[in-house]
Chain A
Amino acid sequence: MNPQYRAYHPRWYRKSVPIFWWLRKRSYAAFIARELTSVFVAYSAIMLVVLVLAMDRGEAAYVGMMDWLATPIVVAAHILVLLVVLFHTITWLNLAPMAIVVKLGDRKLPASAVLMGHYGAWAVCTAIVAWLLIWR
């Protein structure tokens, strides 16, 4: 094809959408907020490794990190991280019945059962983490 040809091609008609389109509606903003929780998930993963390295190094490093974590601004930051991650957990678990369809023979497990199962799993995981870190 003649390379000149494309230069004369008419522009496709596209409706222009403003870059902050997702601020126009609550549900759009919630969608973007839900996607951005992933930044806090990645941050938490990094901090877990940092904490494990401090624990491995010895009690002084661990206590030093705990002292840093107890400073007011860091506490405030981690309360924010916790709230955002809770938003992630709740929105994620609430979507589970739409993503997972359990068939029992020719009948479907009701969505509420799938939902309850996931919240149950969250409770069990929370209890295991608490048992490992606190109650042993």
Chain B
Amino acid sequence: MRRSREPIIWALFGGGGMASALLLPALILILFIAVPLGWVQSAPFEDLQALVRHPLIRLGLFVFISLCWFHWAHRFRYTLYDGLQLSHLNELIAVTTYGIASVGTVVGAYLLWGVG
């Protein structure tokens, strides 16, 4: 019997859902809204730069964004599948969505590898 890939895909989806649920509201509010508008003063630029250049932060960010990608892929796949009734295109949709997530992961790894 061929083993199903579903548990792995579901773990990536679940991990991405949890990580993004816990971290994204704070990151978006602080980095994309509050700091640009001057509502709060961020840590000095040198500290922020040192932070994002730290290997552990880069590794964590890489894991985080790739989980976000696979979370998107899984949900978007089933939105197309159920929402737009494209179940006859199941394989094409799965290959496309997880393929985009894989490419996003590789590009993310390449870009974050070059930081610092």
Q: Which of B93-107 contact A (CB under 8 A)?
A: 104
User: Any chain B CB within 8 A of the CB of A7?
Assistant: no
CA distance A52 to B40 in the complex (A): 19
State the Cβ distance, A22 to closest chain B Cβ, in Å.
6
Q: By the criterion CB–CB under 8 Å, are A88 and B20 in contact? A: yes
Contact with A along B29-44 (1 / 0, CB 8 A): 1111101111011110
Contacts of A37 in B (CB 8 A): 75
A129 adjacent to B32 (CB under 8 Å)? no
Find A44's partner among B24, B36, B38 (CB 8 Å cutoff).
Answer: B24
Q: A45-B64, A55-B49, A69-B33 are in contact. List 12 more A-B contacts (CB 8 A).
A: A41-B20, A44-B20, A48-B31, A49-B108, A59-B45, A70-B36, A81-B32, A85-B20, A92-B18, A99-B14, A126-B22, A126-B25
**Interface positions of B (Cβ within 8 A of A):** 14, 16-18, 20-33, 35-38, 40-43, 45, 47-49, 51-53, 58, 61, 64-65, 68-69, 71-72, 74-76, 78-79, 83-85, 104, 108, 111-112, 115-116
